[in-house]
Chain A
Amino acid sequence: MASLIACPHCGPRPREEFSVRGDAAPLRPAPDAAPEAWLAYLHARENPRGPHREHWRHEGGCGRWLVVARDTATHEVFSVTDVQAAARSAAREGRE
């Protein structure tokens, strides 16, 4: 993992200021979704070797949740986006 993460609010900050939650791909199903959808949400993971989008939180800074896109093999960070901005642009593109 890179030792610097460029927070969209605070600029480049040491990795230690951030905590990681994990894979950003699984989306919480609707409350009445089928059990299969919930089980897949909880357990099934793509686990790619390469580009991966993750939820990180800038705990030691602005406190915002972020989407960090990075490579799980080279540790290169491609982009860091505020989670709300990421959700809005996804909604605009018609993704859920």
Chain B
Amino acid sequence: MRYSALSLVADALGLAPRVPAWRSPAPKPAYDVVIVGGGGHGLATAWTLAATYGITNVAVLEKGYIGSGNVGRNTTIIRSNYLLEGNNPFYELSLRLWERLERDLNFNAMVSQRGVANLWHTDGQRDAFRRRGNAMRMHGVDAEMWDVAQVRARLPFLDFDNARFPVRGALVQPRGGTVRHDAVAWGYARAASALGVDIIPHCEVTAIRRDGDRVTGVETTRGDILCDRLALATAGHSSRSAEMAGIRLPIETHVLQAFVSEGLKPLIPNVITFGAGHFYVSQSDKGGLVFGGDIDGWNSYAQRGGLATVEHVVEAGVAMMPGLSRVKLLRGWGGVMDMSMDGSPIIDRALANLYLNAGWCYGGFKATPASGLCFAHLIATGAPHAVATQFRLDRFDRGAALDEKGAGPFPNLH
């Protein structure tokens, strides 16, 4: 069924039958491509394989329910304000794909280009942001520098004259913004299913069958499944799934928390990031302030974090925006992510017919459409997509780390 204004009216009047958004098939014994992980990246890959490359005999195997991983846990920020050559064109392609996502999928994902403002507080930070803004513009990406008067006019609630962290200006990407994260999972699942992809939840892959340099299939909690090509998109669990194929990755698994406040009248017009601590906030369409900060810092596979980090995040938030102290916190949660050794992702072939999509750290939501395109491109053609050539797994051995932050091989510092 195609969603439209007409279908909405028909539905409201009870004239149209209610149909599930995607099919629930039993797993077949074999597929051309099996994708492990039904998060944003796995689903986007499946849809792109079917829609762009005509490969439809595809299954997406998800151990939980669709949307139970990071795709449904993130703070929904999208942007392409990257500095490095290897990153910027990829994230800009992703932003362009977000701009047409709802038409491509026929699904309302509430893509909202409300702008991302990165505050700066010192001269050194201004210079670094100016450099980044210039790098963005040279790649054809929108970037603006706001002086303090411009920031004041738009975001009057910030603590401008804080004695330690006065707000002096902001680097702004007007085309950045937010997207309703759950709708991204649902939209891709629905569109992929309509093209013949089998979406199979509650199906955990427990072993990978390997024959020399090839994989032949997987063992799952719903039986064995053979495949010609196997694609891993198991964000947060990539070390575990790669280990099933005997591969060790430059990745550690860490927990990141996020929070949402009670619903408020419209207050925060865009996405704001604090420059004097790690804190970022936006307001959802329901009115809740959605915010987060640093990862907890130690390896964790538990989808929950510690209270010390909650306190730290809230302190940073109140330092940036004192009014936050009067707002009630409604919920907090955690998600476990692949933290790679250079803070950048991996899209590569790991064995003859085993493909790897991993290492997205806390920034992979914005990458979802381009990750799906580049991963599908690699699986379908065997060659890396032009904007993903620096996401190779062997870059660590070549000394070609893609370290946007310059933090070195310390995953808990990226």
Contacts and interface: CB of A to CB of B under 8 A. Distances in A.
B300 to A, nearest CB: 6
A75 B302 CA distance: 8
A49 B341 contact: no
Nearest to A56: B298
Interface of A: 1, 3, 15-16, 20, 22-23, 36, 39, 42-47, 49, 52, 54, 72-75
B114 interface: no
B306 A15 contact: yes
Interface string B225-252: 0000000000001011000000011111
Contacts of A46: 239, 248
Contacts of B239: 45-47
A72 B254 CA distance: 9
Interface residues of B, number: 26
A26 B341 CA distance: 14
Interface in B307-328: 307-308
A52 B409 contact: no
B301 interface: yes
B250 A23 contact: no
A22 B248 contact: no
A69 to B, nearest CB: 12
Nearest to B253: A47
Interface in B396-414: 396-397, 409-412
A73 B409 CA distance: 23
Contacts, number: 69
A20 to B, nearest CB: 5
A1 B257 CA distance: 13
Contacts of B412: 20, 22
A20 B339 CA distance: 15
Contacts of B297: 20
A52 B299 contact: yes
A3 B296 CA distance: 13
Contacts of A49: 237, 240, 253, 301
A72 B253 contact: yes
A74 B341 CA distance: 24
B302 A22 contact: no
A47 B298 contact: no
A74 B300 CA distance: 9
Contacts of B253: 47, 49, 72
A44 B300 contact: no
Given A22-B412, A43-B409, A54 B299 contact: yes
Contacts of A73: 300-302
Contacts of A22: 252, 298-299, 410-412
Q: Name the residue among A16, A44, A47, A73 with the largest chain B CB count within 10 angstroms.
A: A47
B299 A3 contact: no
Contacts of A15: 306, 308
Contacts of A16: 308
B306 A1 contact: yes
A40 to B, nearest CB: 9
Contacts of B409: 42-43
